[in-house]
Amino acid sequence: MKIPLHWAALLLSVLILSPVAAEAALRLYVSFFSRPTRLFRSEAQTGWCNAPNIATTRINAAGEEWRIRTDKNGQRLIAQEPRADSWILILGDSLSFGEGINIEDRFDAKMLSSLPGARVINTGTMGYGTDQAYVSFRNWKHVLKAGDALLIVPNKSDYLDVLRQRFFGRAKPYVERAAHISFARRASASGNA
């Protein structure tokens, strides 16, 4: 029994194109449907920052679900008095961000109930070191006025984070030790001694 040539070509085409079509369908599914929402986006000055306008849930270390909603600046949404007359700028990492907890359980949400008339800008971003917190401060210091507060929330790991050039595969600003020159020698070299 001979198979006509056009049927053999059709069978061969189906056998070759089926795996290609299946691969394309799986890639489409993984790219658009099964991937969790990205919490970060690349940022030139700090290496990364919180992604803006996200609404997602994650599972924390205790196996509990926690909600994450951010505004246009990538800050977690917190219930606040819109006409507040004083500001509290919070700088920090995952501790300030509230990693693993819902926003109503974060320290600044609890703190606001005792501070009527205050509004919080919490720039906490998971993985930040003090160097990145400083860059965040420079981006937000223009909103502060006399009487406002700055709260820096360091974590034990922040001191080592300053020395890292990368954090979980993401590039970041880092501190580099330069050749040792004492202050007295620099001052005398510039004629200020």
Can you read off the two tokens belonging to residue 18? 């089926």
Average pLDDT over residues 127-146: 90
Average pLDDT of the chain?
82
- Give 130 or 118, the one with higher predicted confidence: 118
Residue 94: name the closest of 39, 134, 166, 171 by CA.
39
Whether 40 has a pLDDT exceeding 60, the answer reads yes
Can you read off the two tokens belonging to residue 64? 């509990």
Collapsing DSSP states into helix, strand and coil, what is residue 48?
strand
Whether 56 has a pLDDT exceeding 90, the answer reads yes
Whether 113 has a pLDDT exceeding 60, the answer reads yes
What was the pLDDT predicted at 147? 92
Q: Which residues contact 149 (CB under 8 A, 6 or more apart)?
A: 86, 87, 88, 89
Query: How sure is the predictor about 186, in pLDDT bands with cuts at 50, 70 and 90?
Result: very low
Can you read off the two tokens belonging to residue 56? 């997602």
What stretches of the chain adopt beta strand conformation (E)?
A: 40-43, 47-50, 55-59, 65-69, 86-92, 118-122, 149-153, 166-167, 170-171
What was the pLDDT predicted at 187? 47
Q: Where are the alpha helices (DSSP H) in the chain?
A: 5-29, 94-97, 107-112, 130-140, 158-161, 183-189
Sign, CA torsion 6/8/11/17: negative
Query: How sure is the predictor about 188, in pLDDT bands with cuts at 50, 70 and 90?
Result: very low
What was the pLDDT predicted at 42? 87
Q: How many residues does the chain have?
A: 193
- In the block, tokens 């990205």 appear at 38
